[in-house]
Amino acid sequence: MISPTSTRLCPYQPARAKKPEALAGCPHAAASAASKPPKPLAYTHATESERPVDPPVPTVSLSEWENAQHYDVVVVGAGIGGMYTAWRMQGCDGSKPMGKKIGIFERTLHTGGRLHTAKVAAAAHPMDIGGMRYLPAQNPLVQGLVDHFRMDTQKFVVHGDNNLNYLRGQRSTQASETAPPYNLREGERGKSAEELLHQAIEATIPGHAEMDRPQLEKAVADARMGEVPLSQLGLQNVLARSLSREAIQMITDLSGYESDLQNWDAGQAILELTKSGTEYRVPKEGMSAFHDAMQHDLSRTKTDIRANRTLRRVEHDGKQFRLTFESSGGAVAVTADQLVLNLPKVPLQQVVEDSPFLQHTPLEENLSKVEANPLTRIFATYEKPWWNEMGITGGRSLTDLNLGQVYYYGNGEPGKRPYVQVYNDGERSKFWEGLQNPGEPGVAVRLEATPQLVEELHKELEEMHGRELPRPTGLVYKRWSDPFFGAGWHTWNPGSRPRESAESMLQPLTGLPLFVCGEAFSTAQGWVEGALQTSEQVLQKMGKG
């Protein structure tokens, strides 16, 4: 059984100062000195090490197959979608159990997948290094879990009047009337980023703001831009029809997300960007509270959860699935009557490449329809909440520097460790990867933060806030693009027909009980809700009422 894991923060040690107390279990500490010019800080990576290239698929002998562990259902991937699927099948939600022996096999050492709350001692708030919030009004399945487990939640703050926009060298508070430094056209000036976005959508779907959800979905499905159906276009194509390049850049910078405004499926993007309801919430214990609660319930059922098991090959002998896993001890043979693949695009693609049985199928075809988007998260703790001196008490500030978004946690509560979270995606995320993982392709990815990454972080924070800042006492870094997950979130490519493709991916091999769930191939990409939606659809196909 997998045990929930903790992430330990490693301390930064100034030169000739009293050595700070190390946090228990800090495996990758690298003490360093600080002077002028500043020296590198120390930190620990948030998850397991990365393996750049998979070795050949291990061989399983006939006798090993004859003695293989058999399950009624195997779920590959202990992310939230896989955990939820097993949890519902076993009747942990109060429904009738399906009476199945279930095996959940996970490549990493923890459940939750891209939900991972770092357990850092005395942190002002649990550090969610993966998914960090949900929208009660738009996420009914997530809210249902909150209600079922009677979770204490709190508001996830985004905005603050004194929070900053630092764009093109111009610094202003978000409550100020300062015009953003963009060379806008006549008709664009004086409008907010949100107003410009809706102006562009209106040019393609007139009256969209007055439509209810079903009406908007139909309008999106029927829309054309000239002679071209909207379903064949990307979001950037739609924006460029009525907005200047400067206006599009302003929308992107003030959204804080590069991936949201990239050239992904225009219809799906419009449906995502026009959703109403913006009050975010988060469990007080962090987003890991969801899968931790499910794991506790599953421990009392006929469910095995196995860590350090990488699925390498899928076969079918006409009666059952034959699954070759790899662990630190070598090949592991498992058979199953039904198979659920709760895997993002990149890990699933790796399985397909080594599984002739899955090649030249709708499953393989659908992989090319989805884009894997990297995300970077950096957490830096401090002795005191220096942002309070600027009137900032929480929420985020925005910048076109490589930082992207900066969130603030903690306001001097006794015994609590304040910290900032740096959040970025797209090209900005690639920038931090370049600093963290230098070297030639094939060189093992290192766990320790590089001096150049740490120095760049501190330098950009000082430039963004326009003042000299104290050094962090510790850092946690995670880039969601490693071979375990492949991306932070996913988007449908133009022309992919998301609704039809998402439906076909649920059971991509006609007549065989092989199912796929997870955020990557949902119509609510980037959200826990998307993973749960696909899990519910898979459960219905498996006969769960």
Report how far residue 496's alpha carbon sits from residue 370's, in angstroms, rounded to the nearest whole number.
8
490, amino acid identity:
H
pLDDT in tens, 299-320: 999 999 999 999 999 999 999 9
* Alpha-carbon distances of 43 from 31, 54, 354, 420, rounded to whole Å: 9, 27, 36, 14
34-43 b/e (C-beta count within 10 Å ≥ 16 → b)? beeeebbbbb
Instruction: Specify burial of residue 164 (Cβ count, 10 A radius: 0-12, 13-18, 19+).
Output: buried
Q: Which of these ranges, 54-58, 63-67, 151-155, 365-369, has the smallest mean pLDDT?
A: 54-58
Q: Where are the beta strands (DSSP E) in 181-284?
A: 224-225, 228-229, 281-283
pLDDT in tens, 221-234: 999 999 999 999 99
Report how far residue 115's alpha carbon sits from residue 319's, in angstroms, rounded to the nearest whole number.
35
First to last CA, the chain: 28
Does the structure show a pLDDT above 80 at 46? Answer: no
**Which one is predicted more confidently, 151 or 119?**
151
Report how far residue 449's alpha carbon sits from residue 298's, in angstroms, rounded to the nearest whole number.
36
Does the structure show a pLDDT above 50 at 441? Answer: no
CB 534 within 8 A of CB 88: no
Does the structure show a pLDDT above 60 at 506? Answer: yes
Provide the pairing of β-strand 310-316 with 117-118. unpaired
Q: Which residues lie below 8 Å from residue 462, measured CB to CB, with a gap of 6+? A: 468, 469
pLDDT in tens, 158-172: 999 999 999 999 999
Return the pLDDT at 437.
63
Return the pLDDT at 436.
75
Paired tokens of 136 = 């009660």
Return the pLDDT at 401.
98
What average pLDDT does this structure show over 340-345? 98
Return the pLDDT at 64.
84
**Which is it for the CA torsion 70, 73, 74, 78, positive or negative?**
negative
What average pLDDT does this structure show over 69-90? 98
What pLDDT band is residue 477 in, cutting at 50, 70 and 90? confident
Q: Where are the beta strands (DSSP E) in 289-441?
A: 303-306, 310-316, 321-327, 330-341, 370-373, 375-381, 396-399, 405-409, 419-425
What totals of helices (H) and strands (E) does the chain contain, helices first?
A: 15, 24
CB 128 within 8 A of CB 528: no
What pLDDT band is residue 19 in, cutting at 50, 70 and 90? very low
**Which is it for the CA torsion 250, 281, 536, 79, positive or negative?**
positive
Percent of the chain at pLDDT exceeding 70: 87
Does the structure show a pLDDT above 70 at 476? Answer: yes
**Which one is predicted more confidently, 3 or 22?**
3
Return the pLDDT at 505.
98
What pLDDT band is residue 48 in, cutting at 50, 70 and 90? very low
**Which one is predicted more confidently, 29 or 267?**
267
Does the structure show a pLDDT above 70 at 541? Answer: yes
What average pLDDT does this structure show over 349-360? 96
Return the pLDDT at 449.
63
pTM higher than 0.95: no
pLDDT in tens, 108-133: 999 999 999 988 888 899 999 999 99
217, amino acid identity:
E
What pLDDT band is residue 36 in, cutting at 50, 70 and 90? very low
Return the pLDDT at 54.
62
Provide the pairing of β-strand 303-306 with 102-105. parallel
CB 153 within 8 A of CB 134: no
Percent of the chain at pLDDT exceeding 90: 77
Return the pLDDT at 30.
29
CB 302 within 8 A of CB 90: yes
Using a CB cutoff of 8 Å and minimum separation of 24, what contacts does 66-70 make?
Answer: 67/333, 68/322, 68/333, 68/334, 68/335, 69/103, 69/333, 69/334, 69/335, 70/320, 70/334, 70/335, 70/336
Q: What's the chain's average pLDDT?
A: 88
pLDDT in tens, 90-104: 999 999 999 999 999
Distance from the Cα of residue 20 to its chain's centroid: 33
Paired tokens of 150 = 């009677």
Selection from 4, 12, 3 nearest residue 476 by Cα:
12
* Alpha-carbon distances of 333 from 56, 62, 64, 161, 300, rounded to whole Å: 16, 10, 7, 58, 25
What average pLDDT does this structure show over 473-489? 87
Return the pLDDT at 11.
41
**Which is it for the CA torsion 249, 253, 255, 256, positive or negative?**
positive
